[in-house]
Structure 1
Amino acid sequence: MNDDEHLQRFEDHTLPIELWNHRAHLKVAYLYLQRFSFEETLSRLQTGIRAYNAAKGIKDTPTGGYHETMTQAWLHLVHTTLCQFGPADSADAFFDAQTQLSGKRALLLFYSRDRIMSPEAKASFVAPDLAPLPRPLNDSIKRQEPRG
């Protein structure tokens, strides 16, 4: 499926749950970042992931469901990578080229396991305890026109 279809299927909750994996989450972040500011992207991710999870019956539990710190930390990594290397022809092409984003354990470079898996980190953003999250030198993303 192309980028617009991926985003539409996420937003209307028709993306099959078996396709809602790490890469699919990051693709949504990437696609939103190309259309919206970091702050608007974060807001859309927070609302969108919760709504998608609810539509698919994914419950928020101490070990499952929406995780605020992971959402924000991954968004920082995608945003910084996008600013540093620029967009690609598609989200898949971007992630094929930026393989450092493919490993779900990458956040353990910034967070201890205890901190990232804490109830506090799940409920609200907590800063990393091992190293600061990277930040782009400038936000120079070429944005597309927002979809209707």
Structure 2
Amino acid sequence: MSDAEHLRRFEDQSLPLEEWNHRAHLKVAYLYLQGLPFSEALERLRSGIKSYNAAHGIMDTPTGGYHETLTQVWLQLVAATLHQFGPAESADAFFEAQTQLCDKRTPLLFFSRERLMSAEAKREFVEPDLAALPGTV
């Protein structure tokens, strides 16, 4: 699927739930960062994930649904990587070259599991407790 099609299907919630995985989240982040300043990309990603979840019956629970800190961390990691290495011909090509972003455990380099999985971190962004996140600009 093309980048434009992936983004359209995310935004209109027609992307099948079984395809809404870690890589699909990252692709949306990458695509938003290609055309928007970080703050706008964050707002679009945040509202888009919440809308997608609602459309697919994904409920916010203590252990599931939207997670603010993870959303911001992944967007920051993609932005920093994009800044450092530049874009690729497609989102898939970017993530094939930047495989460190495909490991869902990467945020644990910056956060203890307890802090990252806390109710506070799910609700609002919390700063990392192990190492600083990379800067983006």
Q: Deviations over 1:28-85 (max 9, x none)?
A: 0000000100000000011000000000000000000000000000000000000000
Partner of 2:124: 124
- State the alpha-carbon separation in 1 of the partners of residues 103 and 110 from structure 2: 13
> What TM-score, normalized to structure 1?
0.92
Aligned to 1:28: 28
Q: Which residue of 2 aligns with 1:73?
A: 73
Amino acid aligned to 1:72: Q
Query: 1:72, 1:65 → 2: CA distance?
Result: 15
Q: What is residue 46 of structure 2 aligned with on the other side? A: 46
Give structure 1 regions of 4+ aligned residues with deviation exceeding 2 angstroms: none
| Deviation of 1:16 (Å) | 0.3
1:9 maps to 9
CA distance in 2, matches of 1:28, 1:87: 14
Output one character per residue of 1:70-126: Cα deviation in whole Å (capped at 9) or x when no partner.
000000000000000000000000000000101000000000000000000000000
Task: List gaps (5 residues or longer) in structure 1.
Answer: 139-148
Which of 1 and 2 has higher RCO (CA within 8 Å, sep 6+)?
1
Q: Provide the rounded CA distance (Å) in 2 between the counterparts of 1:49 and 1:35.
A: 18
Give 3-state SS (helix, strand or coil) of 1:135's partner: coil
Distance (Å, rounded) in 2 between the aligned partners of 1:35 and 1:20: 22
Q: TM-score, normalised by structure 2?
A: 0.99
Distance 1:74 1:90 in 2: 18
1:107 aligned residue: 107
Identity of aligned residues (%): 69
Structure 1 distance, partners of 2:90, 2:52, is: 23
Q: What is the alpha-carbon distance in structure 2 between the residues aligned to residue 45 and residue 132 of structure 1?
A: 22
Distance in 2 of aligned mates of 1:106 and 1:34: 22
Q: How many residues align?
A: 137
Task: Output the CA distance in 2 between the equivalents of 1:61 and 1:70.
Answer: 15
Give the structure with the larger helix fraction.
2
* Aligned-pair Cα RMSD in Å: 0.5
Q: Write the letter of the residue equivalent to 1:31.
A: L
Distance, in Å, in 1 between the alignment partners of 2:73 and 2:133 is 7
